[in-house]
Amino acid sequence: MLVLQRKKNQSLVINGNVTVSILEIGSDWIKLAIEAPKDVKILRAELMEAAEVNQEAAKELNTESVNALKNLVRKK
Amino acid sequence: MEILTKHFGSMEYTEEETVHFQDGLFGFEDYKDYVPIPLEEDSDAIICLQSLDDQDIAFIMMNPFLLSSVYRPKITAADRKALGNPNEEDISYYCICVINETLEDSTINLKCPIAVNALTRAARQLILDQPGYNFRHRIKDIEKDICTTNKKEVSHAGTAKKEKPVAGHKR
């Protein structure tokens, strides 16, 4: 993994065609500008994981686990 | 109306029971209409969220407040607006579960609750920016999990919220 330091208004270029610039720096956030060709897919990492967890949740169910879950709720 | 469900065969439902996700769910953006089917009559503890567009798409979700007395999702102004600006007491929250081979391995997603406007039945999956709420909490020790990772939040927590169930019809 490459770790580097950049200041406000500085940028870096990935693969010759993706430019990431630091627009603004807050207390616990930064604002980025990304210039990239249309076919480069950019996603917030948490969105990708959210989609992965949903995919897992939509698979087949284990009936025994569902029954155990019902029992757990009944005890509450 | 009749629907073929993933887990319960053919079922009757009414238009009023359906919920609409304008933006779909994460990874399921094209599937916007669902009917919540309670696993046990008159309880919103465990609900199967069945897609009306595709029989094979269904999620198990739970009322998180029955599992944890300290769970406090904070909806952003933008998300609230997308739901039609309901009051907090008119929003119901549910969390999607991954049900694995055993209950011990099964998890609940506290980071991405589904918020439902109980008045209009508009629904939206959120991503919370609150520390301590993750994509995968073991269902069995959800309370312990939140308390150890999120002590600060817990100390600020008030009394348990009263929820308006979105699913409670008889099957």
Residue-wise pLDDT tens digits, B137-154: 999 887 676 666 555 444
Residues A50 and A74 in one domain: yes
Residues A26 and A50 in one domain: no
Query: What confidence tens digit (pLDDT) does each residue in A56-69 have?
Result: 999 888 888 988 98
**Which residue in B171, B90, B76, B79 sits closest to B130, CA to CA?**
B76
Interchain pair B66, A58: CB under 8 A: no
Give the range among B100-104, B160-164, B165-169 with minimum mean pLDDT: B160-164
Residue with tokens 């952003």: B76
Interface test with B, best of A28, A49, A76 (most B CBs within 10 A): A49
Task: Say yes or no to pLDDT of B28 above 80.
Answer: yes
> Which residues neighbour B88 within 8 Å (Cβ) at sequence distance 6 or greater?
B75
Question: What's the gap in Å between the CA of B15 and the closest CA on chain A?
Answer: 23
Interface test with A, best of B40, B103, B141 (most A CBs within 10 A): B103
- Where does residue A21 rank: exposed (0-12), middle (13-18), buried (19+ CB within 10 A)? middle
Interchain pair B135, A53: CB under 8 A: yes
Residues A19 and A34 in one domain: yes
Residues A34 and A54 in one domain: no
The number of domains in chain A is 2
Residues A31 and A54 in one domain: no
Mean pLDDT for A47-52 is 95
Out of A46, A55, A68, the one facing B27 most closely (by C-beta) is A55
Beta bridge partners of B116: B92, B123
Q: Which residues of A touch B127 (CB under 8 A)?
A: 46-47, 50
Tokens in use for A34? Answer: 């990304």
Query: For residues B128 and B111, is the Cβ–Cβ distance under 8 A?
Result: yes
Query: For residues B14 and B137, is the Cβ–Cβ distance under 8 A?
Result: no
Out of B45, B96, B102, the one facing A73 most closely (by C-beta) is B45
**Which residue in A60, A4, A9, A6 sits closest to B99, CA to CA?**
A60
* pTM of the predicted model as reported, rounded to 2 decimal places: 0.82
Indicate the average pLDDT of chain B: 87
Going by their DSSP bridges, the two strands B19-21 and B10-12 should be labelled as: unpaired
* Residues in chain A, overall count: 76
Interchain pair A65, B57: CB under 8 A: no
Domain B2-155 belongs to what topology?
BH3618-like (2.30.290)
Task: Say yes or no to pLDDT of A25 above 90.
Answer: yes
Residues A31 and A47 in one domain: no
By residue range, what is the domain housing residue A27? 1-40
Long-range CB contacts for residues A26-30, cutoff 8 Å, separation at least 24: none
Whether ipTM > 0.85 holds is no
Out of B7, B40, B97, the one facing A70 most closely (by C-beta) is B40
H/E stretch holding B37 reads strand B33-38
Residues A16 and A27 in one domain: yes
Question: What's the gap in Å between the CA of A63 and the closest CA on chain B?
Answer: 9
The Cα A55–Cα A5 span in angstroms is: 36
Task: Say yes or no to pLDDT of A43 above 60.
Answer: yes
Interface test with B, best of A55, A73, A74 (most B CBs within 10 A): A73
Residues A4 and A22 in one domain: yes
Query: For residues B61 and B139, is the Cβ–Cβ distance under 8 A?
Result: no
Residue A54: predicted pLDDT? 97
What band does B54 get if pLDDT is binned at 50, 70 and 90? very high
Residues A48 and A75 in one domain: yes
Residue A61: predicted pLDDT? 83
The Cα B145–Cα B107 span in angstroms is: 12
Residues A28 and A63 in one domain: no
Residues A2 and A14 in one domain: yes
Task: Say yes or no to pLDDT of B67 above 50.
Answer: yes
Long-range CB contacts for residues B150-154, cutoff 8 Å, separation at least 24: B150/B70, B153/B70, B153/B72, B154/B70
Residue B159: predicted pLDDT? 45
**Which residue in B21, B23, B155 sits closest to B94, CA to CA?**
B21
The Cα A73–Cα B75 span in angstroms is: 26
Interchain pair A57, B100: CB under 8 A: no
